[in-house]
């Protein structure tokens, strides 16, 4: 057995300007080589990243014209990945060939594979919006959990309503439960924007059903239904089917039963859903739903009638006038009234007066404005049809707006149309109590400036539609 001092015996005399130590050789002209310029192990290993230096394996990455031949080192890869370790040292690849091993990776993209190698060689994370999904796939394929975590963290930091559905699809595909949970929370809070963002119409049926089953979506059911119809049209196209109502019903399957038609108003069901529901619902389902909206006791129906936003509960209405009169004119100036509450609520919309004679369609812009900053917190540019009675007409925001207790807000409605009813004998303070929503105290005050004459005592905006946290 050789002692340490015997290592000198391994040094042979120079041959052709090379000094041979064991099997290793170094040029006399540069005895330190590239290694000498690197002061740490990390620097030396990082230097070999994607270089032919000492490479003993080559990966042919990508497909067709995108293929690249990337050099690597079995030892470095085996240290960083149990999959590579099994591949190189577990008898899965031939060991006898003197030529470097070549491995085809047609299912991996070049930028993603380079990012994975950079991490294995240097612990450096190099990912961007364009490559993060494919890098996550590659990190999972080769079981590099630290790289997986970096990709998921990047996705979390870049998650928003506009890409929540796209990332939800990827999170479910890769079984990233925490990321999927965050995506669903974003969808809950920003449902309207998420449904109109990137990737909604590309989700699969299981993901669609998972979303429709949620109690925490903040959107009117009629708007949700329209989004589902859009998805069904895209799904028909993916399957090579004509987008008929029969085919839409077929591709939606169980998802139809998850649409909560009872949460619509009868007007929403007739006007919004009625345009596209023929064929999606059976004749019996349509009749039963109309009966549900109009008669008591209500018939049994096959659709869930639990309110969305379980954090909120059933919708409530506060009415601030005790008497109704006619006539109230409009000239392009918004009707406005200030209000405060003593507990957190979510405003869904307003009840507005309509025409004094016959049916009429109004154009309107409704807003909730923070009085202190002037910031518009919610707005909807829409229309509504009245029937000529003194009943109020519901006008909703696209999503509920959160109202903080003790803060003054302005309810604003700018109508364009004929003269309408208006309210009188308005109440300055209303204590609203219900079995589901508890007690909420509303304070109404005059909104100075352009208000079309609306005040605490009389005018428009007779109702605020809202819900609470514990309903």
pLDDT digits (tens, 9 = 90+) for 148-173: 999 999 999 999 999 999 999 989 98
Q: Copy the structure tokens of residue 268.
A: 């929403």
Q: Is the peptide bond before 51 cis (omega within 30 degrees of 0)?
A: no
Residue 245, in any domain of the structure: yes
What pLDDT is recorded for position 273?
58
In the predicted structure, residue 65 carries a pLDDT above the cut 90 = no
Q: Which of these three, 157, 192, 220, is where a domain ends?
A: 157
Mean pLDDT, the chain, rounded, equals: 86
Question: What pLDDT shows up at residue 132?
Answer: 92
Q: Is the pLDDT of residue 429 over 80?
A: yes
Tell which wins on pLDDT, 357 or 30.
357
Structure token pair of residue 236? 């028909």
Same domain flag for 19 and 103 = no
8 C-beta neighbours (distance < 10 Å), count: 7
Residues 343 and 418 in one domain: yes
Q: In 283-428, where do the E strands start and end? A: 316-319, 321-328, 335-341, 345-352, 360-370, 376-386, 393-403, 409-416, 420-426
Reading the block at residue 466, the tokens are 């809202």
Question: Within a domain: residue 306?
Answer: no
Q: In which band, very low, low, confident or very high, does the pLDDT at 15 lie, cut at 50, 70 and 90?
A: very low
Indicate the range of 116-120, 122-126, 294-298, 360-364 predicted with least confidence: 294-298
Which pLDDT value is given to residue 311? Answer: 45
- Please state the rounded mean pLDDT for residues 24-29: 44
Residue 409 and residue 371 in one domain: yes
Out of 99, 131, 157, a domain closes at: 157
| 185 lies in some domain | no
What token pair was written down for 351? Answer: 């009840």
334 and 436 both lie in a single domain: yes
Instruction: Please say which residue of 137, 157, 177 terminates a domain.
Output: 157
Q: 3-state DSSP call for residue 75?
A: helix
Q: Which element (helix H / strand E) includes 152? A: helix 145-157
Judge if 139 and 263 occupy the same domain. Answer: no
Average pLDDT over residues 415-433: 96
Do 77 and 153 reside in the same domain of the chain? yes
Bridge partners of 159, per DSSP, are none
273 in a structural domain: yes
* 231 in the same domain as 139: no
With a pLDDT cut of 90, the percent of the chain lying above it is 60
344 lies in a domain? yes
Q: Does 104 share its domain with 142? A: yes
Give the model confidence (pLDDT) of 83-98 as tens digits. 999 999 887 666 666 6
Determine the pLDDT at residue 108: 94
Local structure of residue 269 (DSSP, 8 states): I
Instruction: Specify the pLDDT at position 95.
Output: 60
Q: Residue 208 — very low, low, confident or very high, per pLDDT cuts 50/70/90?
A: very high
pTM of the model: 0.59
Q: Is the pLDDT of residue 29 over 70?
A: no
- Confidence band of 470 (pLDDT split at 50, 70, 90): low
Kindly tell me the burial class for residue 128, based on how many C-beta atoms sit within 10 Å of its own C-beta (0-12, 13-18, 19 or more).
exposed
pLDDT of residue 365: 95
> Is there a single domain that holds both residue 372 and residue 420?
yes
pLDDT in tens, 352-406: 999 998 899 999 999 999 999 999 998 888 889 998 899 999 998 877 889 999 9
Q: Is the pLDDT of residue 312 over 50?
A: no
pLDDT above 60: residue 427: yes
pLDDT of residue 20: 33
pLDDT top residue among 181 and 99: 181
The yes-or-no verdict on residue 335 having pLDDT over 90 is yes
By residue range, what is the domain housing residue 8? Answer: 4-31
Is 23's pLDDT higher than 50? no
CA–CA distances in Å: residue 426 to residues 181, 294, 321, 384, 395:
46, 30, 4, 24, 20
Residue 79 has pLDDT above 50, yes or no: yes
40 or 19, greater pLDDT = 40
The CATH number that applies at residue 78 is 3.30.710.10
Q: Which pLDDT belongs to residue 277?
A: 60
How many angstroms separate the Cα of 96 from the Cα of each of 24, 57, 88, 281? 21, 13, 12, 67
Domain count, the chain: 4
Q: Is 459 helix (H, G, I), strand (E, B) or coil?
A: strand
pLDDT for 22 equals: 36
Examine residue 114 and state whether it is found in any structural domain, yes or no.
yes
- Note whether 341 and 455 are same-domain residues: yes
SS3 helix, strand, coil % of the chain, rounded to 5? Answer: 35, 25, 40
Confidence of residue 32 (pLDDT cuts 50, 70, 90): low
Confidence of residue 295 (pLDDT cuts 50, 70, 90): confident
Whether 242 is in a domain gets the answer yes
CA–CA separation, 336 and 351 (whole Å): 13
Reply yes or no on whether the pLDDT at 11 is more than 50. Answer: no
Is 50 within a domain?
A: no
- Give the domain CATH number at 345: 2.60.120.820
Q: Over range 431-458, report the average pLDDT.
A: 91
User: Same domain, yes or no, for 323 and 265?
Assistant: no
Length of the chain (residues): 471
- Is 139 in the same domain as 93? yes
């Amino acid at each position: 057995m050789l002692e340490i001092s015997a290592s000198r015996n391994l040094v042979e005399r120079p041959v052709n300007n090379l000094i041979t130590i064991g099997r290793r050789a170094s040029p006399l002209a540069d005895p330190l080589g590239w290694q000498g310029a690197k002061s740490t192990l990390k620097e030396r290993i990082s230097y070999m990243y994607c270089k032919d230096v000492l490479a003993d394996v080559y990966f042919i990455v990508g497909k067709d014209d995108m293929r690249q031949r990337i050099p690597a080192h079995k030892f470095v890869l085996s240290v960083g990945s149990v999959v590579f370790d099994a591949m190189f040292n577990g008898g899965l690849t031939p060991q006898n060939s003197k030529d470097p091993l070549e491995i085809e990776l047609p299912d991996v993209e070049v930028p993603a594979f380079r990012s994975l190698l950079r991490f294995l060689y240097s612990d450096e994370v190099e990912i961007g919006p364009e490559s993060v999904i494919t890098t996550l796939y590659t990190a999972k394929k080769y079981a590099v959990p630290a790289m997986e975590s970096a990709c998921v963290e990047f996705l979390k930091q870049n998650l928003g309503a506009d890409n929540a559905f796209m990332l939800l699809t990827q999170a479910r595909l890769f079984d990233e439960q925490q990321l999927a949970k965050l995506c669903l929370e974003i969808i809950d809070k920003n449902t309207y924007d998420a449904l109109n963002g990137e990737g909604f119409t590309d989700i699969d049926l299981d993901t669609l059903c998972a979303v429709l089953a949620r109690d925490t979506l903040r959107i009117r059911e009629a708007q949700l239904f329209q989004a589902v119809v859009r998805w069904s049209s895209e799904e028909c196209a993916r399957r090579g089917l004509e987008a008929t109502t029969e085919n839409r019903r077929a591709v939606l399957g169980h998802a139809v039963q998850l649409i909560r038609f009872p949460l619509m108003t009868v007007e929403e069901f007739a006007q919004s859903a009625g345009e596209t529901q023929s064929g999606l619902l059976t004749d019996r389902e349509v009749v039963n739903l109309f009966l549900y909206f109009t008669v008591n006791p209500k018939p049994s129906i096959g659709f869930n009638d639990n309110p969305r936003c379980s954090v909120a509960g059933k919708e409530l209405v506060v009415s601030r006038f005790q008497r109704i009169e006619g006539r109230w004119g409009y000239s392009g100036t918004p009707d406005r009234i200030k209000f405060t509450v003593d507990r957190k609520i979510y405003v869904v919309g307003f009840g507005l007066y309509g025409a004094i004679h016959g049916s009429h369609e109004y154009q309107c812009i409704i807003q909730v404005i923070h009085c202190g900053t002037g910031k518009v917190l919610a707005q909807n540019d829409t229309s509504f049809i009245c029937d000529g009675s003194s009943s109020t007409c519901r006008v909703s925001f696209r999503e509920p707006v959160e109202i903080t207790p003790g803060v003054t807000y302005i309810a604003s409605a700018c109508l364009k149309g004929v003269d309408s009813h208006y309210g009188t004998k308005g109440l300055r303070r209303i204590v609203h109590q219900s079995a589901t929503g508890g007690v909420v105290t509303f304070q109404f005050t005059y909104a100075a400036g352009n208000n079309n004459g609306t005040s605490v005592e009389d005018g428009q905006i007779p109702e605020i539609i809202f819900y609470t946290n514990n309903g």
